[in-house]
Structure 1
Amino acid sequence: MHDTDDAHSEQESSAIHEPRLWRDKGWTARVIKNEDGDGWAVEMIRDGSAEPALVGPWTMGRNKVDPKPLDATAHQTLVKTASEVIRRHEQQLHAQLNKQCSIETESGSLTVRLVVTPDEFEPFGTLTAVDPFGDVIATVKVPPDFKLTRTRAERWAADGFGRIQ
């Protein structure tokens, strides 16, 4: 048996298909009492995550008291929705941590990029000037809250790409 077969059969053996708990394909759907009042909610947790990626309302069953049972179709729909939520969050985080602008200098056009490296203890930013061929002209470390603007990038270039305080 190959390693991938072991992982696949291990995942299959850890699968749970119950009316209020459905674990499969790297995700767990759990139907819970709605904290905001009446009814039910469903939370989607990706394997290895401590927090749910998605929490939303869940449909009542036919008796109007108990929740509708989870099934494979509902789980698949919830996986798609939760995956989309995570993808959007990752795109938003990437946009917050990565900025760039174009400037004109005496020697031609440059792209100035700011990449913030989030770190629990010492986050920092890296400012890089790149020519049209992709060659790095200069790189400096900046504070993690550095705001990249075209004016600041032009001033950095005009000052010879030195350290920024």
Structure 2
Amino acid sequence: MRSNDTVNDQPILDAGMQDDETDRDAKVQEPRLWCDDGWTARVIKNQDDDGWAVEMIMDGEDEPALVGPWTMGRDKKNPKPLDASAFYTLVKTATEVLRRHEQQLHALLHKSLKVRTASARLTIKLDIVPDDDNPSATLSACDEAGEQLAQVEVPTSFKLTPDSAAEWIANDFRKPGR
């Protein structure tokens, strides 16, 4: 830790100020600040009330992955100190939050449905690439063996539904909207 900045009388870690591998691997185990296994837990004053909160930040990230209420200490004024058990429970919870977020994002960007036609059962996929400069979306159809039958570029606003998929198939896989 080599920063003179503090928040709630707690030092602020600046990952950009570390100059060798041993600094990055150093464990910090203080009552309000724990750093280990790629995570930082920091007990902070809850801005919404008189209580305390804990934030979990993954190394290299600017925003916390998890912010939640933190238990008051015995004096009912100061926060309960962090300990190994609480820290690893918080790591597990924050990791799960990130995993669910990634699953939700994947589900938004990669949709798939099965459509039965008179001659086959097809899998229709919509894959969206959310690029700030050039976002794109691809609609594709595969047969039961996984062989691609068609692929077209579509607007990123295209909605894949059973009806839109059936219409695309009925139009011989021509680009929708034409």
**CA offset digits 1:89-137 (Å, max 9, x no partner):** 1111111112112122344111101111111122221111000000000
**Mean Cα deviation higher: 153-162 or 71-80:** 153-162
- When the two chains are superposed, the root-mean-square deviation of aligned CA atoms in Å is 1.5
8 Å contact kept, 1:11–1:24:
no
Aligned residue for 1:36? 48
Secondary structure, counterpart of 1:30 in structure 2: strand
- Identical-pair percentage: 58
1:103 matched to 2:115? The reply is yes
1:151 matched to 2:151? The reply is no
Counterpart-to-counterpart distance in 2, 1:11 and 1:65: 33
1:132 matched to 2:135? The reply is no
Higher RCO (C-alpha 8 Å, min separation 6): 1
Equivalent of 2:36, from 2, 16, 24? 24
Gaps (5+ residues) in structure 2? 1-19
TM-score between both structures, scaled by the size of structure 2: 0.83
Secondary structure, counterpart of 2:63 in structure 1: coil
TM-score between both structures, scaled by the size of structure 1: 0.89
Gaps (5+ residues) in structure 1? 1-5
**Structure 1 residue 46: Cα displacement:** 0.6
Superposition pairs of residues 1-165 of structure 1, within 5 angstroms: 9=22, 11-13=24-26, 15-165=27-177
8 Å contact kept, 1:11–1:25:
no
